[in-house]
Amino acid sequence: MKAVITIASLSRAGKSTIAACLAAEFALRGHNTLLVDCDPRADATAHFMPPEKIHSSLADALIGLPDRAGGITGETFPLGGVVSPTVVERLGIVPGHIRFARFERVAPTAILRLKAEVEDLADSFDYALIDTPPSLGLILSACLIASSHVLVPVTGSHDTPVGLDCLTEMIEEVHRSHPRLEALALAVDLVEPGTHLRTLRRQTERQLRAMFKTVITRRDEIAACRASHLPVQLYAPGSAGAALFARLADEVMCAVNQSSLVPVLRSEL
């Protein structure tokens, strides 16, 4: 596996859309790609399937199967056993589910299980992308430990610097114990057209070591694709939104292949 990339943010910065559409872009380019939805809200999963189509999920692999009383049986599947195909050839998904919120109550030693399960699939996939909840809990810790790279979407919200302080502190803590985790990257995501991006860059450059040049602006086709359970590349092929994710994928792949996100140039916005 070339890279395991966690998409992490503490705000509504479009991380699930980035995870879903980047995973689709990687697969459309011929790479065997795995999308792991670790957010109990399952927003990334919704880009590919409605809730009634989910027959097994990440919760079944890392927590256990539900019993009739609403508890947990203790019986689990290997992660490969809950990978579902998607409408995108070469893209598999481990669906998210609200039951995965119980992971925050398991023993701290369980945070290593996701890493072990992903590594077991390393020969089957070229890339794995992991969507995370917007919180600093055990789920995010498990995702970071399992990953080789982190991509941090941000917006122009006034709480962006505070959220980045909290997030980068946690990532640095994980990095000390798991040094394979690579440097941070910044994706300016889902901002309104006309946003003063130079100000946003000044707000965030203290916390982040690199900034991608691609800016994902709010577009109708990006906002609408999730409701149709399709990534933007299939919902609106040839659209400006699809082109933006193609450019972002170029940058991410370049950074991963260089084995570091540090050389990615900050654009002079």
Q: What is the mean pLDDT of residues 59-67?
A: 81
pLDDT digits (tens, 9 = 90+) for 76-133: 779 999 999 999 999 999 999 999 999 998 877 788 999 999 999 999 999 999 999 9
Q: Give residue 208's pLDDT.
A: 57
Tell me the C-alpha distance between 191 and 14, whole Å.
10
**Which residues, listed in sequence order, are joined to residue 85 by a DSSP beta bridge?**
92
Which range among 96-100, 208-212, 258-262 shows the weakest confidence by mean pLDDT? 258-262
pLDDT at 11 over 90: no
Q: Give residue 176's pLDDT.
A: 86
Q: How many helices (H) and strands (E) does the chain have?
A: 9, 8
CA 265 to each of CA 172, 214, 269: distance values in angstroms, whole numbers, following the listed order? 21, 11, 12
Which secondary-structure segment (H or E) carries 217?
strand 211-217
pLDDT digits (tens, 9 = 90+) for 136-188: 999 999 999 999 998 888 776 655 677 778 888 888 888 888 888 875 556 55
Pick the CATH number of 3-257 from 3.40.718.10, 3.40.50.10800, 1.10.3720.10, 3.40.50.300: 3.40.50.300
Q: Give residue 96's pLDDT.
A: 96
Residue 165 DSSP SS3: helix
Domains of the chain, residue spans: 3-257
pLDDT digits (tens, 9 = 90+) for 21-58: 999 999 999 999 999 999 999 999 999 999 889 989 99
